[in-house]
Structure 1
């Protein structure tokens, strides 16, 4: 809500914000102190941290594509016009993915086109000025998805979920960092994920975003 909707002066609004921030910091600190031993054990075992790939060997779920026509070859056309800025963007994303070990150079016969997009881009209706959102590299796996049998598993409806948890009092939330990247690709499926950027051809060792059955496999 805005200051006007709350009927507050700016100083009162800022005071409330500072109070909420302070209380949140106290709460987080109390939680960390209370569960320091547990948090330490989870960090040591890799369940808390920045490496989503640490427990691949323990994860029995892999992404194996159920291909309709194994003789099909995916041959997306490379980008015709690549500016120096675009080249720099692609280089930055590829380097980051190589550094964490989720992709590798590929010799696959397939190639899906990669694009750079800015999610959440907005345009001011008065000035027409464009404000770019977060930069992402995305893949157009349309041809691959059309050549993949659909996994018919569907997520449970919200009413089903609410019914299951309605009698509980304590609820926990887990945020899986780069969730899809915690699922390894099956060796037979890796070549199908190959994608082309101005700097070369690469393939995924983990389940990438954009695959038709990725949500079902992840769930």
Structure 2
């Protein structure tokens, strides 16, 4: 969306008024005075590691970058009892990034359990937004000061001596239309070469799984790859694995634009089950159009694969009403299934065992007044898709 002339002028005035907050180069960094980062360690003597030998090219780059950090005030000479070695990591442009090997320090660090915000919760708040801006802090972690104790613990060594940091060291695309995958991440998936070992399979599946809510029946499609990750499984790249590998690439390339959940608008939860997995689609009626909010799926366990079709279909309903509970609470929703026997099963008078436990979970929705879902059979041979009971819709 293009800015109008008045909007362009207001934006220019805003940027001009706060021009001092923008970085003009790699050494032009700010420094917050609102907080200092601390590193708390368990009782015990400090850990000191010697500097590592490295090739001349890496060593020269390390010396230059350390000197730059000293000149800019990011680091300073240290007399700490702690010492962690530096490592040089090669970047795509063949230059090197200065890093520290803090694994030993991490083992001594007291973990902080403060909860980080979930990306999906943040994305869900954007439904009424029309304008979006992206601000990137220039070397953001370098703008947070370290406490004196943290500077000592994070000290690093090279052939030039011992130094300490004065500061801390260390994608979705959103628009008015909705949420899309990050083209750069998708391109990385597209360029992924055929895995040759379990570790490479795990890396690919991990990256692809980041966007699983964009892919219908992700778990079923990726099942051959997940099978390779089972404990004690022998790596054997089969035609099924290749098909799953290529299919995931294709699906992520053509991933839809997911809508934002709105306060108004009926929700629909379409559930389905196969011999190997269960899946669901959460959508919402928005301005007369049904918008997909998310896809959900998972593989069935060996025990669940022995369930009859009706039980697998019911499992899908139980699974995804729970998974998308935050969207369903306080909403009317419709559960759509292609298995008409579920309506009879849910009305069973005296259920026992697993069935009783599932129906107890669904009872929250069946007895909650205005939140009560309706049920639709959308199977080709089933009855007309007329909701049964109170009007409502469900999400996945």
Length-normalised TM-score, structure 1: 0.67
1:104 counterpart residue number:
76
Shift of 1:169: 1.6
Given candidates 89, 108, 111, the residue that maps to 1:150 is 111
1:76 counterpart residue number:
49
SS of equivalent to 1:189? helix
* Structure 1 segment 1-219 matched on structure 2, within 5 A: 35-43=11-19, 46-50=20-24, 51-53=28-30, 55-56=31-32, 59-69=33-43, 71-79=44-52, 81-120=53-92, 133-209=94-170
**Residues 157 and 193 of structure 1: CA distance in aligned 2, closer, same or farther (over 3 Å):** same
Q: In terms of mean alpha carbon deviation, does 165-174 or 90-99 score higher? A: 165-174
**Residues 35 and 171 of structure 1: CA distance in aligned 2, closer, same or farther (over 3 Å):** closer
Shift of 1:34: 5.1
SS of equivalent to 1:90? helix
Q: What is the alpha-carbon distance in structure 2 between the residues aligned to residue 86 and residue 136 of structure 1?
A: 9
**Residues 145 and 31 of structure 1: CA distance in aligned 2, closer, same or farther (over 3 Å):** farther
Shift of 1:94: 0.7
SS of equivalent to 1:188? helix
CA radius of gyration, larger in: 2
Name structure 1 gaps, 5 residues minimum. Answer: 1-25, 121-131, 210-219
Q: What is the alpha-carbon distance in structure 2 between the residues aligned to residue 176 and residue 99 of structure 1?
A: 21
How many pairs does the alignment contain? 165
Which one scores higher on RCO, CA 8 angstroms, separation ≥ 6?
1
Q: What is the alpha-carbon distance in structure 1 between the residues aligned to residue 73 and residue 7 of structure 2?
A: 33
**Residues 164 and 36 of structure 1: CA distance in aligned 2, closer, same or farther (over 3 Å):** closer
Q: What is the alpha-carbon distance in structure 2 between the residues aligned to residue 105 and residue 63 of structure 1?
A: 19
2:356 counterpart residue number:
none
Name structure 2 gaps, 5 residues minimum. Answer: 171-396
Length-normalised TM-score, structure 2: 0.38
